[in-house]
Structure 1
Amino acid sequence: MNVRTLCLSILFEDEATGYEIRRRCVEGECSYFVEASFGSIYPALAKLEDERLVTSRTEQQEGKPAKKVYSITEAGRTAFAQELSGPLGDDVFRSPFLLFARYAHILPAALVEERINEYLQRTEADRSKLEEAMAGRTLSASDTWVMNYGRAVMGVAEQHLRSHMHELITLARAEPKKDAAE
């Protein structure tokens, strides 16, 4: 899945500005699919518009610069369905926490425990956001399935960390002893 397909997926649901697309990619329901920056979204939208898969209109705003609102065309809907019909790429999972865990053995145990607890809190908060999003609106059956999948993955990660965090803490080096004369 690429940024082009992600833009089409968002516009498939409703019209949006580039800023709104970016927001949905960072904090919205699309944040779990593909990472997309402004530097990749706007060129993708321009190319989609050149290919007549999306259209745009400019809306004036009071006290702000005009904004460009994009809409998907019928050709865009067809192209989106064709892109979804193709082979799927590999899932990509990047985690700063896993890099931290890989090198826990060179860090103080207290720091490792602190980071584990911070990560657990973030994971719980992310899962809660999904649950709130599900409770706050009527979802399609496919949206419900995707949200439940996300909740399950987060739940398994949380459960694994809770039941195995002691192993990671044990791998961490002991704090150096302070000399009593200090």
Structure 2
Amino acid sequence: MNVRTLCLSILHEGEASGYDIRRMCTEGEFAYFVEASYGSIYPALARLEDDGLVVSRVEQQDGKPARKVYSITEAGRTAFVAELSGPLGEDVFRSPFLLFARFVHLLPRDLVEARTNEFLQRSVEGLKRLDEAAADHECTPADRWVISYGRAVLTVAEQYFRTHMHELNDMARAEPHRKAAE
């Protein structure tokens, strides 16, 4: 799966502007599937349009610049299903927090405690967002399955974190790092 497939998946659900697609890919419900940077989405949309898989139209807005709205073509729907039918790549998990945890011994305890509490709060908020998404009456059974899977993963991660976050705090330095010149 790649950014082109991700764009087709969004447009399979309905037409969207480039901004809407970018938002869904980077912070919305589609951000969980494939990593898509701001700089990769617009070139992917241009290639999809060149390949006849999407079409666009310019839509005027009152008091705002015109926006380009994309929709998927029949060829795009066929290409999307073909991509979904192909072999799946490996799941990729990236976590800035895990890099932080790997080097926690270099950091002062108060900072580590603050970051672990922030991470726990973000996990709780993530579960809350999934609960809200599951309550949406427009969710399909497939949407609910994906949300339930996400909930299960986050619940296990949260339980592990609550049980073991004290270990990270204990690995942190008791004193802030002092400069050698002091």
**TM-score > 0.5 by shorter chain:** yes
Q: Which residue of 1 aligns with 2:103?
A: 103
Q: Which residue of 2 aligns with 1:35?
A: 35
Structure 2 unaligned segments of length 5 or more: list them. 177-182
Query: TM-score by structure 2 length?
Result: 0.92
Displacement after TM superposition at 1:54 (Å): 0.7
Q: Which amino acid aligns with 1:63?
A: G
**Cα deviation per residue 1:114-166 (whole Å; 9 max; x = unaligned)?**
21111000111111011111113331111100011111111111111100112
SS, match of residue 91 in structure 1: coil
> Which region of structure 1 is more displaced relative to structure 2, 32-41 or 19-28?
32-41
Are 1:63 and 2:63 an aligned pair? yes
1:109–1:38 distance in 2 versus 1, CA, 3 Å: closer
SS, match of residue 90 in structure 2: coil
CA distance in 2, matches of 1:57, 1:15: 10
CA distance in 2, matches of 1:48, 1:83: 14
**Cα deviation per residue 1:35-88 (whole Å; 9 max; x = unaligned)?**
223321111111111111111111111122211111111110010011111111
Q: Which amino acid aligns with 1:89?
A: G
> Which region of structure 1 is more displaced relative to structure 2, 36-45 or 65-74?
36-45
**Cα deviation per residue 1:87-110 (whole Å; 9 max; x = unaligned)?**
111112111111110011121222
Q: Which amino acid aligns with 1:85?
A: S
Identity of aligned residues (%): 69
CA distance in 2, matches of 1:106, 1:42: 40
Map 1:85-124 → 2, pairs under 5 A: 85-124=85-124
- Contact 1:134 1:144 (8 Å CA) reproduced: yes
- Contact 1:18 1:38 (8 Å CA) reproduced: no
Q: Which amino acid aligns with 1:82?
A: A
1:163–1:37 distance in 2 versus 1, CA, 3 Å: same
Q: Which residue of 2 aligns with 1:179?
A: none
Q: Which residue of 1 aligns with 2:153?
A: 153
